[in-house]
Amino acid sequence: MVFVRLTGCPLRCVYCDTEYAFQGGEQKSFLDIVTQLNHYNTDFVCVTGGEPLAQKECHELLKQLCDMGKYVSLETSGALDISQVDPRVSIVMDLKTPASGEETKNKIDNLEYLKPSDQIKFVLSDLSDYDWAKNMIAEHRLDERFEVLMSPVWQKLSATDLANKIISDQLAIRMQVKLHKILWGDEPGK
């Protein structure tokens, strides 16, 4: 999968691992992006950020990538409206936990625009976040409607502790770790 990282984000989660995407970057045309994508031997593209939906051209980028026959996913904070995202796009939407510092920005209405094939992700800083996420899953029947992911904040919550909690509580969810952090550490763009 190739990641297309868009600059800018209206949120400031305390655990953000891509603060470098708050600013900077380069202006690129769709042709520039496609030319770069063609250097990789994959049809899988993930548009991420920052918060990609903060960019006014994001919807058109997603549409054009789908029109090219790419398998497109969008990673979004869930704080901006997703109702206009091309239905061919697979959405991975965060629900911000209390320890993120941005819980009040969750746009719960977005749950109504997700497809059963989309995913909800919780990034957890501690076991209090886990309990909060577990309550949100139950309250909104998230595990019945979507695939649910939990991810521990890098070097904050032990992946082993989280896995043991998930197993103990028999949650029907998927756990993921930050593979890019394991492979490349804090190297921007990786």
Q: What is the CATH number of the domain that holds 117?
A: 3.20.20.70
Please report whether residue 189 resides in a domain: no
In this prediction, residue 137 carries a pLDDT of 97
Contact criterion met (CB below 8 Å) for 90 and 58: no
Please report whether residue 63 resides in a domain: yes
In this prediction, residue 156 carries a pLDDT of 84
Q: Report the number of distinct structural domains present in the chain.
A: 1
Measured between alpha carbons, how far apart are the two ends of the chain, in Å?
A: 12
Please report whether residue 74 resides in a domain: yes
Share of the chain above pLDDT 70, in %: 92
Please report whether residue 190 resides in a domain: no
Please report whether residue 75 resides in a domain: yes
Please report whether residue 124 resides in a domain: yes
| pTM of full prediction above 0.95 | no
pLDDT band at 22 (very low <50, low <70, confident <90, very high): low
Please report whether residue 164 resides in a domain: yes
Please report whether residue 16 resides in a domain: yes
Q: How far apart are CA 95 and CA 99, in angstroms?
A: 12
Tell me the H-state helices in 3-158: 30-37, 58-67, 127-139, 142-145
Number of other CB atoms surrounding residue 113 within 10 Å: 16
In this prediction, residue 183 carries a pLDDT of 75
- pLDDT tens profile 104-161: 999 999 999 999 999 999 999 999 999 999 999 999 999 999 999 999 997 789 999 9
Q: Which domain holds residue 151?
A: 2-184
Return the closest-CA partner of residue 91 out of 115, 68, 109.
115
In this prediction, residue 14 carries a pLDDT of 82
